[in-house]
Amino acid sequence: MIEFILNNKIIKTEVKSGMTLLYFIRENQGLKGTKSGCKEGDCGACTVLSGTLQKDNSVDYKSITSCLTPMANVHGKHIVTVEGVNLKNELNLAQQAIKDNFATQCGFCTPGFVNSLSGLALKHTHPTKADGINALSGNICRCTGYKSIEKAADEVTSKLQEKDHNNELEWLVENKFIPNYFKEIPLKLKALKSDKNNSEGVLVSGGTDLYVRHADALLDQDIQQAINFVSNNIEFSDTKCTIGVGASVTDLMENKQLNSYYPNLKSDLKLLSSEQIRNMASLGGNFVNASPIGDMAIFFLALNAKLMVQNSIAETREIALKDFFLDYKKIDLKDNEFIQSITFNLPDKSTYFNFEKVSKRTHLDIATVNAAISINVQGNIVVNAYISVGGVAAIPRYLSKTASYLMGKELKKEYILEAQEVLQSEISPISDVRGTDQYKRLLARQLFFAHFIKLYPNLFQLKDFVA
């Protein structure tokens, strides 16, 4: 039995846990405001909000694409469709801003935009203009043009500057962002059956990889939620960080302690897809997906991270992430195993980290080439380095020879140029839709230099590496 709240209605349903939320909303509940567009997480027409009850009895709302969300993942949640943010006899503030700024034409995309803006309003922040635009990073409009949509987002954002944080829900209701029933949701969520929906079948975490490929096939099947076995906790000891691989990209971005160790974390991870996908995509799914350009794989390879893997009889083994990827889409994980967590050493004062990604579009695009480095330099000598690059081999590539070459050497231009030669011997890109093999070699080279220009601006500048 799956139990959740859909807008203002408690739902108890026996539908298959693999059915998509989009199918359930439209076909089972007849709520046609949520649109079915690409069904691949790209267009945002199916955007809904998913609210999770927190320990302090507040509800944390995140925008998600319902086309990639299995019903299992809505158990215990408050799911809000565009019908659920409608006021009785007038437009809500996001709808009014869209109307006033002529930010809609055919209207197909509009419910998705309204929901993303409502999600922005429900965040416990005073959003900046950039936050307003970012909230719409997963919504595509094919006829209006984005300037008028941006103006609508700006209007919503500036109104939210007045939000009263001591009385958020009351303020949002009074200011016509959401209907009154939201105030009763925390209590109603508390009263829901809390046991987990623990069925059998294919293992799913965020669903953003599996459901792009198999949504129709999973419609009539039950699935297992990875979150039943895997936590999303982010824990710190003095020297290490351990993350349950159920953690989403947004969980990482919102973690204050992680941001204090990696000051560019938010801007780095913003390069991964859109707000909706980041809210769903888990670390475990990214590693098992084993894409040669998986952003999380590249990020954590350069942190020299180790995975903890568990089997069905609770035996565990540790494996370095660099040894996890065997060949194209082949990983060191048996049928009865799952990944539990990932651990890496926290940086000391002389260790710096940098992540780079080049893609055709800045947002909502996968990388042509991505790259990361973690480097420890003491007295201008490289004591340690971990380097990774994606899109240049069948697997996310860990560059052991390039790192070994640098170790013990002075941090000097000539050694970096020579290390780049070693890097070229460690990669074997192929030509595909994202670029030719030569182009990817060039990108790998430029991104390698970019690490040093960004991390040591007093020592290196762009002109040092221009041929």
Ligand X SMILES: Cc1cc2nc3c(=O)[nH]c(=O)nc-3n(C[C@H](O)[C@H](O)[C@H](O)COP(=O)(O)OP(=O)(O)OC[C@H]3O[C@@H](n4cnc5c(N)ncnc54)[C@H](O)[C@@H]3O)c2cc1C
Q: List residues binding ligand FES (CB under 6 A).
A: 36-39, 41-46, 65, 67, 104-110, 141-144
Residues 6+ positions from 15 with CB-CB distance below 8 Å: 2, 24, 28, 71
CB closer to ligand X out of 84 and 112: 112
CB closer to ligand FES out of 41 and 127: 41
CB 230 within 8 A of CB 338: yes
Nearest CA-CA partner of 215 in 360, 374, 33, 67: 67
In which element (H, E) is residue 48 found?
strand 47-53
d(CA 379, CA 381): 5
Give the count of beta carbons closer than 10 Å to the beta carbon of residue 308. Answer: 16
Choosing among ligand X, ligand FES, none, which partner's interface includes residue 44 (Cβ < 5 to 8 Å by kind)? ligand FES
d(CA 371, CA 132): 28
CB closer to ligand FES out of 48 and 245: 48
Task: Tell me how far apart the 2 most distant CA atoms of the chain are, in Å.
Answer: 71
Tokens of 340: 């539990």
Choosing among ligand FES, ligand X, none, which partner's interface includes residue 255 (Cβ < 5 to 8 Å by kind)? none
Tokens of 87: 């006021």
Nearest CA-CA partner of 275 in 153, 148, 447, 142: 153
d(CA 195, CA 190): 12
Choosing among ligand FES, ligand X, none, which partner's interface includes residue 39 (Cβ < 5 to 8 Å by kind)? ligand FES
CB of 62 to ligand X, least distance (A): 13
CB closer to ligand FES out of 67 and 387: 67
CB of 144 to ligand FES, least distance (A): 4
Choosing among ligand FES, ligand X, none, which partner's interface includes residue 36 (Cβ < 5 to 8 Å by kind)? ligand FES
272 near ligand X, judged by CB under 6 A: yes
CB closer to ligand FES out of 34 and 341: 34
d(CA 157, CA 101): 14
Q: How many helices (H) and strands (E) does the chain have?
A: 18, 18
Q: What is the dihedral of CA 162, 165, 169, 173, to 10 degrees?
A: -10
CB of 448 to ligand X, least distance (A): 20
d(CA 308, CA 240): 14
Q: Which stretch binds ligand X (CB under 6 A): 52-60, 102-110, 277-285, 410-418?
A: 277-285
Scanning residues 23 to 62, which ones bind ligand X (CB under 6 A)?
40-42
CB closer to ligand X out of 3 and 275: 275
Q: Which stretch binds ligand X (CB under 6 A): 205-213, 313-321, 419-427, 440-448?
A: 205-213
Pairing of strands 223-225, 202-204: parallel
Strand intervals (E) in 328-464: 330-331, 337-345, 351-358, 369-378, 381-390, 397-398
CB closer to ligand FES out of 98 and 189: 98
Continuous H helices in 199-294: 210-218, 249-254, 256-261, 265-269, 275-280, 283-289
Scanning residues 319 to 348, which ones bind ligand X (CB under 6 A)?
338-339
411 near ligand X, judged by CB under 6 A: no
CB of 329 to ligand X, least distance (A): 10
Choosing among ligand X, ligand FES, none, which partner's interface includes residue 295 (Cβ < 5 to 8 Å by kind)? ligand X
CB of 149 to ligand FES, least distance (A): 8
CB closer to ligand FES out of 210 and 265: 210
For residue 240, the cross-strand partners are 345
Scanning residues 361 to 380, which ones bind ligand X (CB under 6 A)?
366
Choosing among ligand X, ligand FES, none, which partner's interface includes residue 208 (Cβ < 5 to 8 Å by kind)? ligand X
d(CA 118, CA 129): 15
Tokens of 176: 């016509």
Residue count, binding to ligand X (CB under 6 A):
33
204 near ligand X, judged by CB under 6 A: yes
CB closer to ligand X out of 59 and 252: 252
The residues that touch ligand X, with contacts defined as CB under 6 A, are 40-42, 202-210, 212, 226, 230, 245, 272-273, 277, 280-282, 284-286, 288-289, 294-296, 338-339, 366
